[in-house]
Amino acid sequence: MSAALAFYLRLSMADGDLGKDNKDESNSIENQRELLQSFVENKEEFTDEVFEYIDDGYTGTNFNRPAFRRMIEDAKKGRIHTILVKDLSRLGRDYIGVGDYLEQIFPVLGVRFIAVNSNYDSNRYIGKTMGLDMAVSNLVNSLYSRDISKKVKSGFRARWKQGISTSARPPYGYIKDKTAKGGWRIDPEAAKIVKLIFEKASDGWSTGRIAGYLNEQGFDTPSIHREKQNEFCGKRKVADSECLWDIGKIRTILRRYEYTGAFVHSHRESLQVGSHITRAVPEHRQIIIEDGHDAIISRELYESAQTSIQPMRKPGFKTGNDYPLRGKIRCGVCRLAITRLELAYDAVYYCSHKTKSGRKSNCCDKYMSAREIDAAVLRSLKTQLKILRELGVHIEESKSTAMQDVAADTRRMERDIETYKAERIRQYEAYAEGVISRETYLAKKEELTDKIDSLQTALDRLRSLVEEDTAMTDAVSTINEKAEQSMVHDTLTKEMADAFIETVYVYDEQTIEVKFTFDDLLLEAAKKWA
């Protein structure tokens, strides 16, 4: 009898694999089995008979499980050449024991071990010492989180294959079907626009021409449409008046195969567990379920429309890698980030929103010289820093005289407080000796206490103002010290921009608004000391 493949499937209440009254046993086992079967499909190296070993309700913290022990005995007898599990946690949760099996037992038995979701294959370590570096250290430090992520994804995949969507929100053109879990139904108003986009693209229209047409006709963008449907869309970055159709929105719609009636899952994936950075998933790795919901367009129309999707970047253009105003320069109209291009003769800024949205946008449609805009920003910066420097000198002069008065007021109030406290003691002594009545003493005590409290409040307020003034003058001095180092430059530098500039809004080459990091400080200081 030739050696076979072994599928090891394990469930445990402690792992949270079983539902109420163990009702989810079969489904969980089936999910594991389906994943392993999918893995070995179409792999010529895995064409042998498959043996299944199933442990239901057994913990992974030890290896005293009947099916697992039986599998090991079969391996010893040469009946098994490869063991496959869903993930390393199925083998066990005693990481030392797991390491022993991976490092010693399986190699001695000549058994290949594969944990699919953990991306572990013992064949990769033939002739090498894998050791506990991965089996224990990496397992404890990283694979636990990865396992959890894989478990969630595996559950999702099982639901996807059943035609159940796990998306938080359907694509534009659809709304959630409240009568069917994970189902979509057509949004008639939005679907008309989706179909129109595909028809125009099929007729040879460019994405820019389509966007311009939709804007001219006054069709709501997806975000505005959803807002009108009382769907939460998050905060828009673009100004309300510039919320228009653009090339990006058109391209996104044209790429969605879901409009043919299919469910498409795993469009994008995280680079690593916990990361917000994602990458596109190749089409062959996506899960596509045809006829999962009502179609808005035919597959033929979808294929025909794809020819209109062309690379957006023009040949010979490249964006600047780094420059002084990177991340700080925005269009004054739409409030979106401005793009910088490095041309042969000069670097330029331009509003990509304008180029993507067409003539309905009020943004500037010209290339603007980056050199001239940077120079204008530098001139504005030097002007403001000069004002701040002169204000700093004025503050120091005024503060010198003011602090003398403050010191005198502080001494006077401290002296008066002590005087009133001493008088309050004398009044008590007079009462204790029977010189004054209790009523007279209490009245005098209340009067003196009120004076003390009033003076103490004034004194605390004066000290607080002194602290605020000191903090303000220190901040002004710090900025002026930085300014002294920066003002020697004739061109705007990254260091200067990072230190002094918050945002630059460009309306055109003649109209520029600069928000400085010290604007609030300058205003506050001017109000107090100017």
| Ranges of H-type helices in 4-47 | 25-40
Weakest mean pLDDT among 20-29, 87-96, 430-439: 20-29
Instruction: Report whether 26 contacts 57 (CB < 8 A).
Output: no
Over range 119-128, report the average pLDDT. Answer: 76
pLDDT attached to residue 117: 87
pLDDT attached to residue 141: 36
Ranked by mean pLDDT, the top range of 109-118, 233-242, 395-404 is: 109-118
Task: Quickly state the pLDDT bin for 6 (edges 50, 70, 90).
Answer: very high
- Asked whether residue 9 carries a pLDDT value surpassing 90, the answer given is yes
Helix, strand, or coil here: 11?
coil
pLDDT attached to residue 82: 94
Task: Quickly state the pLDDT bin for 22 (edges 50, 70, 90).
Answer: very low
- The per-residue DSSP string of 327-384 comes to TTEEETTT-PBPEEEE-SS-EEEE-HHHHHH-TT--S--S-EEHHHHHHHHHHHHHHH
| Partners of 506 in beta bridges | 331, 512
Q: Give the H or E element holding residue 288.
A: strand 287-289
Q: Rounded to whole angstroms, what are the CA distances from 421 to 147, 230, 418, 452?
A: 71, 66, 5, 7
Please tell me the distance from the alpha carbon of residue 410 to that of residue 412, in angstroms, as a whole number.
5
Round the CA-based radius of gyration of the chain to a whole number and report it. 37
Q: Give the H or E element holding residue 90.
A: helix 88-91
Q: Which one, of 237, 245, 243, 172, lies nearest residue 208 by Cα?
A: 245
Q: Rounded to whole angstroms, what are the CA distances from 15 to 56, 151, 153, 256?
A: 11, 11, 16, 37
- Asked whether residue 322 carries a pLDDT value surpassing 90, the answer given is no
Over range 179-198, report the average pLDDT. Answer: 85
Please tell me the distance from the alpha carbon of residue 351 to that of residue 480, in angstroms, as a whole number.
34
Over range 165-194, report the average pLDDT. Answer: 80
In the 8-state DSSP scheme, what is residue 181? T
Helix, strand, or coil here: 437?
coil
pLDDT attached to residue 191: 92
Please tell me the distance from the alpha carbon of residue 207 to that of residue 213, in angstroms, as a whole number.
10
- Asked whether residue 501 carries a pLDDT value surpassing 60, the answer given is yes
Task: Please tell me which residue, 248 or 146, carries the higher pLDDT value.
Answer: 248
Please tell me the distance from the alpha carbon of residue 111 to that of residue 109, in angstroms, as a whole number.
5
pLDDT attached to residue 19: 47
Percent helix, percent strand, percent coil in the chain, to nearest 5? 55, 15, 35
Q: Which one, of 46, 50, 12, 41, lies nearest residue 29 by Cα?
A: 12
The position carrying tokens 């003058």 is: 473
Instruction: Report whether 83 contacts 98 (CB < 8 A).
Output: no
Q: Which one, of 264, 298, 301, lies nearest residue 283 by Cα?
A: 264
- Asked whether residue 310 carries a pLDDT value surpassing 70, the answer given is no
Task: Quickly state the pLDDT bin for 314 (edges 50, 70, 90).
Answer: very low
Weakest mean pLDDT among 175-184, 314-323, 501-510: 314-323
- Asked whether residue 18 carries a pLDDT value surpassing 50, the answer given is no
In the 8-state DSSP scheme, what is residue 231? -
Q: Give the H or E element holding residue 14.
A: none
Instruction: Report whether 245 contacts 357 (CB < 8 A).
Output: yes
- Asked whether residue 195 carries a pLDDT value surpassing 90, the answer given is yes
Instruction: Report whether 223 contacts 252 (CB < 8 A).
Output: no
Q: Tens digits of per-residue pLDDT, 67-102?
A: 999 999 999 988 999 999 998 888 887 666 777 788
Please tell me the distance from the alpha carbon of residue 200 to that of residue 415, in angstroms, as a whole number.
87
Q: What percent of the chain has pLDDT over 70?
A: 76
pLDDT attached to residue 389: 80
Task: Please tell me which residue, 239 or 118, carries the higher pLDDT value.
Answer: 118
Over range 515-526, report the average pLDDT. Answer: 77
Instruction: Report whether 75 contacts 8 (CB < 8 A).
Output: no
Sheet of strand 368-369, all strands in order from the earlier edge strand to the far edge:
339-342, 347-350, 368-369
Q: Tens digits of per-residue pLDDT, 255-308?
A: 888 899 887 866 655 544 444 445 566 666 667 778 878 899 998 898 888 876
Please tell me the distance from the alpha carbon of residue 10 to that of residue 62, in angstroms, as a whole number.
12
Question: What domains can be seen in the chain, in order of their start residue?
Answer: 4-161 (3.40.50.1390), 174-308 (3.90.1750), 372-529 (1.10.287)
Q: What's the longest Cα–Cα distance across the chain?
A: 119
- Sorted by sequence, the CB contacts under 8 Å of residue 269 that are 6+ apart come out as 278, 279, 281
- Asked whether residue 316 carries a pLDDT value surpassing 70, the answer given is no
Over range 174-190, report the average pLDDT. Answer: 81
pLDDT attached to residue 133: 41
Position 132: which residue type? L
Helix, strand, or coil here: 139?
helix
Q: Tens digits of per-residue pLDDT, 139-149?
A: 443 344 445 44
| Partners of 279 in beta bridges | 269
Please tell me the distance from the alpha carbon of residue 88 to that of residue 440, in angstroms, as a whole number.
87
Q: Is pTM beyond 0.75 here?
A: no
Q: Rounded to whole angstroms, what are the CA distances from 251 to 39, 57, 223, 308, 475?
A: 34, 50, 16, 9, 49
Instruction: Report whether 216 contacts 244 (CB < 8 A).
Output: no
